[in-house]
A and B are shown apart, each in its own frame.
Chain A
Amino acid sequence: MEILAEMAQGFGFVLGWQPILFIIIGVIMGILVGAMPGLSPSMGVALLVPFTYSMSPTLALILLVSIYIAANYGGSITAVTINAPGTPSAVVTSFDGYPLTKQNKPGMGLGVSLVSSTIGGFIGTIILILFSVQLAKVAVKFHPAEYFALAIFGLTTVATLGGKNWVKAFIAAMFGLLINTVGIDPISGVSRFTFGSVHLYDGFSLIPALIGLFALSEVFKQIDEQNFKSKKIELEKTQWPTLLDYWKLKLTIVRSSIMGTLIGIFPGAGATIASFISYDIAKRTSKEPEKFGHGSLEGVAAAEAANSSSVGGALVPLLTLGIPGSASTAVLIGALMIHDLTPGPQLFNKNSEIIYELFASLLIANIVLLVFGLFGSRLWVKVTAVPKKILYPMIFTVSIIGSFAVRYSFFDIAACLGFGIFGWILRRHNYPVAPIVLGIVLGNIAETNFRRAVMMGDYTIFFTRPVSLLLLVLALVSFAWPILQNKIYSKKELSKLKSK
């Protein structure tokens, strides 16, 4: 009951014209930042931090979290319309969102991604409001051995992603993991595979690699296949999901949202892993797993609900312990400190009104996002109607700005181009490129936590800790199962063919 009263107070504040205005500005900026390949949610938040120096702490926080929420959704727009995920976590959305566009149903992809995003965001926030203190206690107990096991579990989703091409999918994932080791070793501090170049000290940045592997290589492939015909899309005739479509997705959305929030809680795990794992689970539990990768609405819903709900999760350790759970929340900490607020348990006691105002604004930002997203989707659909001969060169210039914006470096643009060409060659030979992104995302988590765990104990630690053991067993099962299934499936097909 106490929570309800505090929440009511929070809403009382947030429903003023000023906070609402800031939420709207934040949401619009966030959608824009998210949709631009290269500008990630954390960069969107960081770019706005300097403006918030002169605002009141609550308004500053409201503006920044609105951007954070909306940017997490915005990435899916370009993922669905042009197969260029605007954020790393939207990679998974593109698996089924882009095929929908190809089937001339961009409205379905955009609609489902928006609605599952906002419901995901809502569920994540409610979990945050109700259980943050208890969840934070669990999060700090998560041992490096368990982080390692979680990363391995995440890696096994490659088996599902690859389908028949699982060998190639694994090669791609291993390649991603391997190039992730370029740079200064995060544990010992020595440089690895840098060839003495300063640019490689931090390794390859994820964003240029992502843009190259998805946006550039997709355009190369389209040019290669001479796919210049634009589909005439008449806006009135665009197919949008019906309420019944959404109702069918309820289980997927709720399950993925809970998964996303839980994974988001662990500092460092984040939205990308959440969306990969929940996509994997959605596919396994689906009645129509064969549709995944070919425009399954469940696939889009699982990915988007998970990555948006992870925002609520990432705020748990930030608000309760003062520890950032993601890159964006790390920037938020800086913003809080500027306003003399030290995140942590004391914030709950001393400035609880700010916390509840923040909670209220999170919920309202999701509603605003839904409204603006519905309005915006009508516009985004038009992107698919732009003549390809004009669209493709423009995607190149956007990609170049996007990879440059990460750390203002020319090396990143060159790296993006390199990944683009390499990605195109890979696609020509039917290698999936998404596992490379997964490898780059997970490589660091897997490696550092493996080595940390061994430093803290010895090799047996992975099997003596129950949670770690459980995750590893799950990983083994989920790795072997799709491959076995495929083998059995193709044998059946073979015998069918023979009998004919």
Chain B
Amino acid sequence: MKKLLIILLFLQLFFISCKKVNEEFSFPKKPITIIVYTGPGGLIDITARKFATVASKYTEATFVVENKPGSGGIVAIKRLLQLPSDGYTLFACTKSNISKIVSTGGEAYIDGIDWAAMMMADPECVITHKKQKINSWEDILTDAKAKDGDQLWLGPANGGLDHVTALKIWDEAGIEAKWIPFKSGGKAIAALLGEQGVAYVGNPREVLGNDDLQIATVSSSKRLAQFPDVPTFEELGIMGLENEFMWRGFVLKKGTTPQIKKWYDELFLNVNNDPEWREYWERGGIDVVYKGSEEFTKIVHNDKKQFTHYLQKIGIINTEATSMIAKLSTGKTLYFMVMIFVIIFLIIGLFVNRSPNRKYLSKIMLPLFFILLSTILFIISFSFPSNEKVGPAVIPRLWIIILIPLNVYLLVDILRQKREIEHKDENKKVVFGFIGLLILYLVSIFYIGYFISSFVFLIIGIYMLGYRNYITMLIISVSWLLFSYLIFYKLLYVPLPVGKLIEMIF
């Protein structure tokens, strides 16, 4: 009897302690945000949204997808790293982000991120046009050797994943070719269909829907189930490309507690094994995989190494400024130079102000501004690395070279012709007042949010213009706020800022 009591007591204690643990760890208590680094509709956006739907089978948690486009993901990564590492923010990441991180010198970001789970891997492949003479890998090889570096490969941006893959393919195959970058993969495919180049590097999915396209070879270790006739690089005798794949996954900010991480690991695994999830992606030729934190981190670091190598090779990063002018236009000397130009600008202004041409002062300031701006940008353009026929500096310089003479012409014209200046009835002070008010408005939106600031701004603004019917003023301001809340916030999903201070309080 006693024994039984003791056992019961222990059991009860055990259950209580269990319950306690459960109470301590209850995650999540609020919706989880998935940050997507592109606008809605892109593949990564679809990935995040599909994940949210499938995940809801396994957890009560709600997921909210937030689009934070800009700078190839840098804006979104910065957002992730600004937020606390409480597990309430996921970032839908792709291999392209690594290329962007490396090319913008943001390697530190990689260590600030907890590479939680890699969920998908698409092999890279070489796509050709069926109706062109050159469409198999052998054709490409012989043609490349014949053209001796002039063979044209088409694809998306320079330094991106597809370009780096192409560079690696050329290295391993021992050929040379030219990469013609297009604004997007789609535009490059259009050019391939127009027979403007020989090959395109990208995702196998991109040939779907178009009978004129075919895959010449694919980087995976095995043949793809959807394209059983397409040989792998290995079969063609080219080694070292079996790991060239585009991955997508979900990451957290570093510092997330192990318990939350464990919760996520389970969720990722569940989603990964979910038949709906698998079927949805595999139909499109995408490899559904699961790689946990450890393996994923290794892959990322490997990618970083590879991108650094190739981006250096093509001159996107770490190119030392060589010429004198280039050195002038980097770092602190640049700010010094800008200062000098501003001073020159002011001196000329003062000089004219004291000369008989005083009344033309405001007229000549604009041409002068354009000339100085152009000169500064012209000098900066010497710091752009260039190892192409038409480098990044050429076109800006072209515009500058047209801009300067036009302004000089205008300047001379103003001072020689000395036309009468028409006097307008002006109200400049109110405009300056409004500009000041708008700057305050902008700052206050940042701190106390759109709604309160707009209310105050509307009332002050309408008052400043001389309107005095206070009741109408109030009605208009309130109804505008209601309108913007309903139309922009609710209907059009524009996440109007709530304000830093308000966020802190609540």
Least Cβ–Cβ distance between A189 and chain B, in angstroms: 4
Minimum Cβ distance to chain A for residue B213 (Å)? 9
8 tightest Cβ-Cβ pairs between the two chains A and B: A334-B41, A344-B209, A393-B461, A342-B209, A140-B194, A189-B159, A201-B71, A389-B467
Interface string of B362-373 (1 = CB under 8 A from A): 110011001000
Once the chains bind, are A228 and B465 in contact (CB under 8 Å)?
yes
Q: Cα distance A450–B65 when bound, in Å?
A: 39
A-B contact pairs, 29 of them (CB 8 A): A29-B491, A32-B487, A46-B40, A139-B190, A139-B194, A140-B191, A171-B367, A175-B370, A184-B72, A188-B385, A189-B159, A189-B181, A190-B315, A192-B393, A193-B380, A198-B71, A198-B78, A220-B435, A225-B424, A225-B427, A267-B187, A323-B187, A337-B46, A400-B442, A401-B488, A407-B68, A409-B75, A447-B395, A452-B181
Contact flags A443-466 to B (C-beta < 8 A → 1, else 0): 010111011101110100000000
A344 in contact with B39 (CB, 8 Å): no
> How many of chain B's residues have a CB under 8 angstroms from any CB in A?
120
Shortest CB distance A404–B (Å): 7
Q: A220 to B434, Cβ gap below 8 A?
A: yes
Contacts of A199 in B (CB 8 A): 70
State whether B392 touches A190 (Cβ < 8 A).
yes
One digit per residue, 1 when the CB lies within 8 angstroms of any chain A CB and 0 when it does not, for chain B 400-412 equals: 1011001101100
Q: Which of A49, A186, A333 contacts B181 (CB 8 A)?
A: A186
CA distance A46 to B493 in the complex (A): 11
Q: A346-B210, A394-B458 are in contact. Are A188 and B403 (CB under 8 A)?
A: no
Which of A283-291, A355-363, A425-433, A486-494 is the contact stretch? A425-433
A residues whose Cβ falls under 8 Å from a Cβ of B: 29, 32-33, 39, 43, 46-47, 49-50, 53, 139-144, 167-168, 170-171, 174-175, 177-178, 181, 184-193, 195, 198-199, 201-202, 220, 223-226, 228, 267-268, 317, 321-324, 330-331, 333-335, 337-338, 340, 342-347, 387-390, 392-394, 396-397, 400-401, 404-405, 407-410, 413-414, 417, 421, 424-426, 429, 431, 444, 446-448, 450-452, 454-456, 458
Distance of A423 Cα from B195 Cα, bound (Å): 44
List residues of B (327-375) whose CB comes within 8 Å of A's CBs. 334, 362-363, 366-367, 370, 374
Extra 13 A-B pairs, beta carbons < 8 Å, given A185-B392, A408-B494: A140-B194, A167-B410, A198-B70, A199-B70, A202-B70, A223-B431, A225-B426, A267-B186, A321-B210, A394-B458, A396-B438, A405-B492, A410-B497
B441 within 8 A of A: yes
CB distance from B6 to the nearest CB of A (A): 57
- Tell whether B189 is near chain A: CB-to-CB under 8 Å: yes
CB pair B208–A224 under 8 Å, yes or no, is: no
- By beta carbon, the residue of chain A nearest B192 is A140
Q: In the complex, which residues 292-342 of chain B have their Cβ closer than 8 Å to any Cβ of chain A?
A: 311, 315-316, 334
Nearest to B409 among chain A residues (CB) is: A167
**A429 near B427 (CB under 8 angstroms)?**
no
Instruction: Determine the distance from Cα of A333 to Cα of B46 in the docked complex, in whole angstroms.
Output: 12
Given contacts A140-B191, A409-B70, contact A47 B395 (CB under 8 A): no
A429 to B414, CA, bound (A): 12
Inter-subunit contact B209/A188 (CB<8 Å)? no
Contact at A190–B384, with CB atoms within 8 Å? yes
A392 to B476, CA, bound (A): 12
Interchain CB contact under 8 A, B406 and A167: yes
- Residue among B160, B193, B283, B388 with the highest chain A CB neighbour number at 10 A: B193
Please determine whether B41 and A171 come into contact, CB atoms closer than 8 angstroms.
Answer: no
Q: Is B496 an interface residue (CB 8 A)?
A: yes
| CA distance in complex: A312, B184 (Å) | 21
Cα distance A212–B311 when bound, in Å? 37
The docked-state distance in angstroms from the alpha carbon of A226 to that of B430 is: 9
A397 to B481, CA, bound (A): 10
Q: Are A429 and B366 in contact (CB under 8 A)?
A: yes
Chain B contact residues, CB within 8 Å of chain A: 39-43, 45-46, 49, 65, 67-72, 74-75, 78, 103-104, 152, 157-160, 178, 180-184, 186-187, 189-191, 193-197, 208-212, 283-284, 311, 315-316, 334, 362-363, 366-367, 370, 374, 377, 380-381, 384-386, 388-396, 399-400, 402-403, 406-407, 409-410, 413, 424-428, 430-431, 434-435, 438-439, 441-442, 445-446, 450, 454, 457-458, 461-462, 465-467, 472-473, 476, 480, 484, 487-488, 491-497
Chain A min CB distance to B66 (Å)? 9
A29–B396 alpha-carbon span in the complex (Å) = 40
A122: min CB distance to chain B, Å: 27
Whether A178 pairs with B400 at a CB distance below 8 angstroms is yes
User: Are B390 and A390 in touch, CB under 8 angstroms?
Assistant: no
Are A268 and B377 neighbours in the complex by a CB distance under 8 Å? no
Contact call A140/B190, Cβ cutoff below 8 A: yes
A220 contacts B431, CB within 8 Å? yes
Q: Are A201 and B366 in contact (CB under 8 A)?
A: no
A342 touches B40 (CB 8 A): no
Q: Which residues of A contact B394 (CB under 8 A)?
A: 451
Min distance, Cβ B318 to any Cβ of chain A, angstroms: 11
A residues within 8 A CB of B182?
A: 452
Q: Cβ of B384 and Cβ of A397 under 8 Å apart? A: no
CB-based contact A424/B385 at 8 Å: no
Cβ–Cβ contact B465 & A389, under 8 A: yes
Q: Kindly list chain B residues whose C-beta atoms are within 8 Å of the C-beta of A413.
A: 442, 445
Q: Give bound CA distance, A338 to B187, whole Å.
A: 21
Q: Which of A177, A338, A342, A394 contacts B208 (CB 8 A)?
A: A342
Q: Are A421 and B39 in contact (CB under 8 A)?
A: no
Q: Out of A47, A322, A400, which one reaches B210, CB within 8 Å? A: A322
Are A345 and B71 interface neighbours, CB within 8 A?
Answer: no
Residue contact A186 to B438, C-beta cutoff 8 Å: no
Residue of A nearest to B363 (CB): A429
> Closest Cβ of chain B: how far from A345's Cβ, in Å?
6
- The answer to whether B180 touches A188 (Cβ under 8 A) is no
Say yes or no: B493 contacts A47, CB within 8 Å: yes
Q: Is the CB of B186 within 8 A of A330?
A: yes
